[in-house]
Amino acid sequence: MIQEVDDGHKRLKRAYSPQFLAEAAQLVVVSGRPITHVAKELGIIDQTLDVWVKAWRVENAASPGPDLSPEQSLEPREALSENARLRIENEFLKKAAAFFARTQP
């Protein structure tokens, strides 16, 4: 999607699924990691992630949900953390494959 900015320049505006927004916000809230670190891992702007986290906290403060055991509360955090780590590894492997494909005769 292309969006026109006030100064006349056009830039690409990404569209994220509601699931991605919720998972990204949960990754920050559940892991307790800084927004800047999580945003960098996910490849998004930290101010955008900050807005998502604030919205997630407002939405989930009204409905606390079921009580979870300590083991159950760790599962989503671990899954989100592993998901972010795997995304980074995947991007690295793509870049490495492209590099080696260029260097092959």
Q: Is 52 buried (19+), middle (13-18) or exposed (0-12) by CB count in 10 A?
A: buried
Q: What average pLDDT does the structure give for the chain? A: 79
**In whole angstroms, what is the distance from residue 34 CA to residue 39 CA?**
9
pTM score of the predicted model: 0.50
35-57: pLDDT as tens digits: 999 899 888 999 999 999 999 88
Most confident of 14-18, 77-81, 84-88, 99-103: 84-88
Residue 30's CB is within 10 A of a number of other CB atoms, namely 16
